[in-house]
Structure 1
Amino acid sequence: MGSPTDIDLLRELEPVAEANVNRHLSIAAEWMPHEYVPWSQGRDFDTTPWAPEQSVLSEAAQMAFEVNLLTEDNLPSYHREIAVAFGRDGAWGTWVGRWTAEEGRHAMAMRDYLLVTRAVDPVTLERDRMLQMQRGYDSGAKTALEAMTYVSFQELATRVSHRNTGRVTGEPFAERLLTRVAADENLHMIFYRNLVAAALELAPERLLPIIRDELMKFEMPGTGIRDFGRKARYIAQSGIYDLRIHHDDVVAPILRHWKLLSLEGLSGDAAKAQADIGVFMSGLDALATRQTEKKAAAAARRAAREAQQPTPVAAG
């Protein structure tokens, strides 16, 4: 008997999807976006135009918040991608609809917060949103198995990015909002992670190469954001999301949950994929260490320069 096709696997995963949809619906907390925005801080922009000094967020927090929001903004493209991959019938369709509704709530609340508190330039934010949504998002026609594997990593990465952004804001409303959004993203990750775990039990020889490929070519869906490369580097330098965080807080925990590197009895492509993942993780760990060392060296140089600056003398 041949290996199961992707369609066969999706049929076998339907009960798992249904159980996890029901699990999600039973534990996902209802929350109202308007309750996370400090509306009393709002002012009309026509009478009081925006100015940079109005923002209470650091440059790093502003940049990370904007990137996170613009990534959330491409929801129409994401909805299309997962609806095509999973279909609109049964438990899959229920999940597609629920996930889309929850993700829409994130962008709504985040944008309201940024505008009401004048945390970022509203004109630049809107222009970047228009550009980002016009470009859209294309996953490269991922299959359902590829999509659920990719999104397992992506949802956790998004959760960590929101959580860490909230922490560096130093602003209670922002931290509370992003903590709430991060909690949703964690539940989304669990849904996909559990499906991949079930698929691994059914067809490890099919899943291992997919996991390897999605892991090794992984990139966040926000790469189409204007000037994304520079912004991502600044966010990494600020310790919000860097290679060490990606390795330690995103990739490694998911691989451990799947027990991926300890699976036994593999052969052929699956065994090779497992070995490739082990090599990749060692390389990622080494890259993360080098990045951390470079950041520490740069910080030391900045501190040395600041120490050499003459101390201002007060006028007598």
Structure 2
Amino acid sequence: MATRLSDADLLNELEPMAEQYLNRHMKVVEMWYPHDYVPYGDGRDFEAEPWTPDQPSLDGVARTAFFMNLMTEDNLPSYHREIYSMFGKKDTAWMSWVHRWTAEEGRHSIVLRDYLMLTRNEDPKKLEDGRMGAMEVGYDADGKNTLRGIAYVSFQELATRISHRNTGKYSGDPVADRIMERISKDENLHMLFYRDMMDAAKHVDPNGVVEAVAAEVMGFSMPGDGIPNFNRMAAQIALAGIYDLRVHHDDVVWPILRKWGIFEMEGLDSAAEQRREELAQFIENLDAQATRFEERREKKRQRAESRDRKLVS
């Protein structure tokens, strides 16, 4: 029966794979610059021409999605602290990855903020007040061990990639779409590092991996969920189809679980097997919840169309 490893032993055991996947990342990652994506020539002095609510060109839901994405990215110092602590051993491939990941993630908030400011698609005071509020709340991994941490970021990076990409498409703005496509490419590479590290861990501590995956799928929440008004903004984004339960189930949870082969693993101990059964039931319930949400959304859309037709007639 496989023995569960301590975090330190797990990190030591997996360090050769961390180095391999870091090197892979460095071979394929593309360097890019925010100034190549933001139309700085469109900028105007806010003192000479203050921001007013009639200036945004994005619709309300797109603005909400961009704002929430930026507030989530603004919490990078907290994420760095948590991941640094999780991989906490200096002068290793793990630490080299942490610093590289942080540097790449830092560009995301820069380009998003500059886009929203230069295009006047958001009140600059709201952006700064939001940044302060988000960072004062911070982010706490709540004592996750290393396996749970890797499991979480595997799902979270993919969820962020999809949310950003769908936000760009929904915006109807070619500049915004190009920015979000660029950010999404980074998020995908980050996901691949974590996803494949977890796949490697499966062969070192299979029981621990199953328990970690079950815990993170069943307790998953996006890192921005502590942001003020997060639930209200998330509901608007879900109603627009940018990121909802169906997207989460079909495009985030299942692809990664299939890659890991969680339900095909053999030789688990009784505790891990029980958690896998609970995970299977949770996913079945999530699928049902997603279907109910889609049905309610469709009925709401049909009622709105009916009201609009009556107003026109």
The TM-score with structure 2 as length reference comes to: 0.97
Picking from 112, 123, 127, the partner of 1:121 is 123
**In 2, Cα distance between the equivalents of 1:273 and 1:256?**
17
Per-residue deviation at 1:89? 2.8
* Identical pairs, percent: 50
Picking from 83, 100, 103, the partner of 2:102 is 100
Code of the aligned partner of 1:242: D
**In 1, Cα distance between the equivalents of 2:83 and 2:134?**
19
**1:132-163: CA deviation from partner (whole Å, max 9, x where unpaired):** 11111111022221111100000000000000
**In 2, Cα distance between the equivalents of 1:36 and 1:310?**
41
**1:21-77: CA deviation from partner (whole Å, max 9, x where unpaired):** 000011000001111101111111111111222111111110000000000000111
**In 2, Cα distance between the equivalents of 1:282 and 1:3?**
28
**In 2, Cα distance between the equivalents of 1:4 and 1:71?**
32
Q: Is the 8 A contact 2:147 2:208 kept in 1?
A: no
Alignment correspondent of 2:156: 154
Alignment correspondent of 1:24: 25
**1:225-260: CA deviation from partner (whole Å, max 9, x where unpaired):** 111111100000011000000001100100010011
**In 2, Cα distance between the equivalents of 1:138 and 1:9?**
22
275-284 or 183-192: bigger deviation = 275-284
Alignment correspondent of 1:253: 255
**In 2, Cα distance between the equivalents of 1:93 and 1:166?**
32
Alignment correspondent of 2:41: 40
Q: Is the 8 A contact 2:59 2:171 kept in 1?
A: yes
Q: CA RMSD in A?
A: 1.1
5-14 or 211-220: bigger deviation = 5-14
Q: SS of the counterpart of 2:202?
A: helix
Code of the aligned partner of 1:117: T
222-231 or 158-167: bigger deviation = 222-231
Unaligned 5+ segments in structure 2 are none
Alignment correspondent of 1:70: 71
Code of the aligned partner of 1:208: V
Unaligned 5+ segments in structure 1 are 312-316
Alignment correspondent of 1:57: 58
How do 1:103-252 residues align onto structure 2 when only pairs under 5 Å count? 103-252=105-254
Per-residue deviation at 1:265? 2.8
Q: SS of the counterpart of 2:203?
A: helix
Code of the aligned partner of 1:286: A
Alignment correspondent of 2:80: 79
**1:164-221: CA deviation from partner (whole Å, max 9, x where unpaired):** 0000111111000110000000000000000110111111111111110111011011
Code of the aligned partner of 1:152: S
Alignment correspondent of 2:294: 292
82-91 or 259-268: bigger deviation = 259-268
Aligned residues: 311
**In 1, Cα distance between the equivalents of 2:230 and 2:47?**
30
Alignment correspondent of 1:314: none
Per-residue deviation at 1:310? 4.1
**In 2, Cα distance between the equivalents of 1:4 and 1:122?**
48
